A and B are shown apart, each in its own frame.
Chain A
Amino acid sequence: MSTEQGYFIPDLEEWNKRIEDLAASFGLDWYPQEFELVDDSMIMSTIAYSGMPSHYPHWSFGKAYERQKTLYKYGMGGLPYELVINSNPSIAYLMDTNPLALQILTMSHVYGHNDFFKNNINFRKGTRAELALEFFRASADRVRSYISDPSIGAAAVEEALDCAHALMYNCPRVPGTKYVSQEEQRKELLDGSKNVPEDEWSHLSTKKVPVVPNLKRLPLKPEESLLLFLRDYSARRLEEWEKDILTIVYETFSYFMPQIMTKIMNEGWASYWHYKIGRALNLPASLRVSLANFHSMVVRSAENPFVINPYHLGFTIWNDIERRYENPTDEEKEKYSLKGGEGMEQIFRVRRTANDASFLEAYLTKDLMVELNLFSFVADEDEAYVDELPDDDSWKQIRQTLVRDVGMGSFPVIKVIDGDGSGARSLVLKHEFDGRHLDSKSAKKTIQCAYHFWGRPVSLETTTFKRHVPYVFSYDGEKSSQSRKK
């Protein structure tokens, strides 16, 4: 392996030992790490399955592969040189054609990610790393068994997965939120209303009418876990395998959600550490130069002005936090009430507690925005115009727009508000309008996906893009319709 590149596995192991020693000395804390050396077609198929060694089959992963391959061919997306999964032990993939300097950078980068997976609260609350591989393997096996079951078959499984995928983004946005069934919720409410806690002032109040919740509502309160609600309360009878598919897709997405929520932080963190470890390694000149080149390729800004490179953004912010908290200027001491000498402490604290939205909100300063050449734009269909550059008046608004769009912010919030329909068992979903309108075509198609599991008419309440009028899309099993909400 890699004779052309001039190194063998024992060389990598030696570098790895040095990297781990440095990482430990810096205070990084990681799951046991495993590295697999693969070629480019293998890495592309691994990417298609998000790095998981086992995964249930679906054509969308074939599409992901083709897309990756196309981008790679047209030089529009370098093959991710690094791929590492959130599991214990963690597995990372190294491309066998990469030169040594890049492998060193990659390995260092991987420990940054591993540390992040192990310590960031979104992962700790939302995923169980030691169960991850087993979960994916078991899910893959069960889905395959449904496909080869003659009473179910590939077509039915594909249809179920198509629909489940369409709806999986609509779930609770706080990682680790426990799904509470309607029965349990009812019980909680009942218990709650019985045990109204007595406080020291209660004897002064004249009225003590307990509020009796309407226990007949389904759902009792707007439900965020769309897939699980369909699974448990559908108007038609679902087969066990259908329910299992809903569960599998829900849990698979839950597993990945923390990664969606922390992309900028996580990539920035790993870049920060590959850079720090890279320097601390005291590499011979040729390796040092190569590594520096690779590093600048990783963190340079994207060519497309509408794409912000998360590596670049994250790396810049982490460095800024460390510097400010370690050696604040007098102005900064004043402005941010900083003492100094807390650089490391602060970045480790932030990596434990934040997500992209809070990260940007707290640490994307106006100066950074100027340094990063950020700007806000307004758009109409395909055309966009630069609106504001960051200055004293505009920067907060620009940051707010960015915060709105990161993490789960790019997915509309849709909740179930009615599954009873006064006995008719029609399903009503509601889009929590925040100024951004839904795409009508995909909304209509996705409603049909909900119908597939629900079995009775489904409708979605939203707001139109013209004149901000409340609007309803519906599907009754045969045709779609839309109308103003009455």
Chain B
Amino acid sequence: MAIFRDLSKHKNGTSDRVAGDRTRHRDLVRDAIKEHLPDIISEEAIIGKGAKNTVKIPVRSLKEWRFKYGPRDDGVGQSEEAQQGDEFQIGGKKPGKGDQAGDQDGETIIEIDVDMDYLIEMMFEDLELPFLDEKKLSELKVETHTHWKGLKPHGIEPRLDLEASYIEKLTRQMASKRAKKNLSVDVSEEFGKLAKKFPFRDEDLLYHSVATKQEPQSNAVIFALMDVSGSMGSWKKYLAKAFLFLLYRFIKLKYQNVEIVFIAHHTKAFEVPEADFFHLGESGGTMISSAPALVLKLIETRYPPHLWNIYSVHCSDGDNYSSDNSHAVETYKALLKVANLVGFVEIAEENSQRTLSGAMGNILAEAIEDPHFQIIRLQDKQDVWSGFREFMKCDKGGS
């Protein structure tokens, strides 16, 4: 009679056995993952609210070497349909068909789960915010975290240290016992009842004292500007979102005290909450100047330049009301006076070859010569990643 054991509920046991080896394997295929980054970040699923925490990445599995035979010259197969002279592709499919999740010898493509955070970290490991002004550091100290630092006799209940308090009480009790022995008067009658009812006296109680650590931090604010006018179709909006999403994840990863302000515009600009930013619809005409104008206003009211490193990234297809063009240039020039870095990301139509000569990008490029002003052009999915890296490395003389 066999023995049966039900382990299906004990998930923490056997199922995690392989976690260590999977992690090690994932680290070893890290380079392979890096190769795939441009594709991964273009995947729609990682953008916006529905962003998952793990991403499946197809990678070529790491080779395990051994002495083995080269491609075979011959062999034996099995198939009902085989006729003499029939041609097959090794790998199973008839010629012409592609090869997915293939299982050819040594060339296995496997999908591994990679934590989104690990991925982001890998993507951004060699990047920093450009033109970050170190001078601002000394002016602003930021409270990074609080920590317990010693005990004190007063405080709030959540910070009560019971153990220390109890020791205090015992010490007092033992001391009073000794004292009572030396007293001629028996005070236990009077104090006895009280002592039993209220074992702890106020003077016994000890509380954690809390101190906050202060560290100098760079202070930065990023203005993410998105053109949501009618000409921004879903493809262009998608590229814009991808770029801004990268920026967003990057900032969150690297910097603790960075604020991101989301601004959408058509003919008018308006601030929107983060949750909505990546899901806006589009309509209306385009007045590109409206966006940087709003930025300038917010800088005036909320983000004084002497305290904040200011960045602004504007994604648009560059298709502006021509009457607005000169105003846009002026507004941008004004913005450049106070900002560390201003980016204009011009998004072209999918598969189009032309650069719009009347488009904003060109106009701005001609009018403004300033290393702190960067124009990035996006056309394909691959451009998102390479454009982003270029943008991030612009103060290092290009990647």
Contacts and interface: CB of A to CB of B under 8 A. Distances in A.
Contacts of A9: 4, 6
B25 A63 contact: yes
B76 A431 contact: no
Contacts of B70: 436-440, 465
Interface stretch (A128-136, A238-246, A303-311): A303-311
B65 to A, nearest CB: 4
B62 A63 contact: yes
B196 interface: no
A389 B71 CA distance: 22
Contacts of A39: 8, 11, 15
B281 interface: no
Contacts of A307: 77-78, 92
Interface string B1-19: 1111111110101111110
Contact of A66 (B3, B11, B92, B111): B111
Nearest to B66: A166
A445 B65 contact: yes
A20 B2 contact: yes
B67 A438 contact: yes
Contacts of A460: 67
Contacts of B21: 48, 57-62, 65
A66 B112 contact: yes
B199 interface: no
A9 B64 CA distance: 41
Mostly, the B contact residues are: loop
A59 B92 CA distance: 28
Contacts of A304: 91-92
A376 B74 contact: yes
A154 to B, nearest CB: 8
Interface stretch (B34-42, B102-110, B207-215, B257-265): B102-110
B327 interface: no
Interface in B81-99: 82-92, 95
A376 B15 contact: no
A24 B322 CA distance: 92
B67 A375 contact: no
Interface in B181-205: none
B88 A386 contact: yes
Nearest to A9: B4
A393 B88 CA distance: 24
Contacts of A283: none
A179 interface: no
B78 A412 contact: no
A96 interface: yes
A280 interface: no
Nearest to A445: B65
A250 to B, nearest CB: 14
A301 B70 CA distance: 26
B84 A386 contact: yes
A38 B11 CA distance: 9
Interface string A425-442: 000000100011111101
B28 interface: yes
Given A39-B8, A46-B14, A62-B23, A381 B71 contact: yes
Interface in B40-66: 61-66
Nearest to A447: B67
A259 B74 CA distance: 25
Contacts of A158: 24
Given A13-B1, A57-B21, A443 B78 contact: no
B398 interface: no
Interface stretch (A70-78, A200-208, A320-328): A70-78
A41 interface: yes
Interface string A79-110: 00000000001000000100000000001000
A417 interface: no
B1 to A, nearest CB: 6
Contacts of B87: 383-386
A160 B18 CA distance: 20
A438 B92 contact: no
A17 interface: yes
A398 interface: yes
Given A36-B5, A42-B14, A62-B23, A379 B85 contact: no
A45 interface: yes
A385 B83 CA distance: 9
A1 B63 CA distance: 40
Contacts of B68: 411-412, 438-439, 442
The interface centre, meaning the residue of A169, A384, A410, A412 with most chain B CB atoms within 10 A of its CB, is A384
B76 to A, nearest CB: 4
B92 A305 contact: yes
Interface string A382-411: 111111110000000010011001000011
Interface in B107-134: 108-112
B95 A59 contact: no
Interface of B: 1-9, 11, 13-18, 20-26, 28, 61-80, 82-92, 95, 100-101, 103, 106, 108-112
13 contacts: A46-B14, A59-B62, A74-B101, A162-B65, A165-B66, A306-B75, A307-B77, A378-B74, A382-B71, A384-B77, A402-B76, A437-B69, A446-B65
Given A41-B15, A45-B16, 12 more contacts: A20-B2, A33-B3, A62-B18, A65-B18, A66-B25, A169-B67, A305-B79, A307-B78, A307-B92, A373-B82, A405-B75, A460-B67
Q: Which 3 A-B pairs have the closest CB atoms?
A: A62-B25, A62-B21, A304-B92
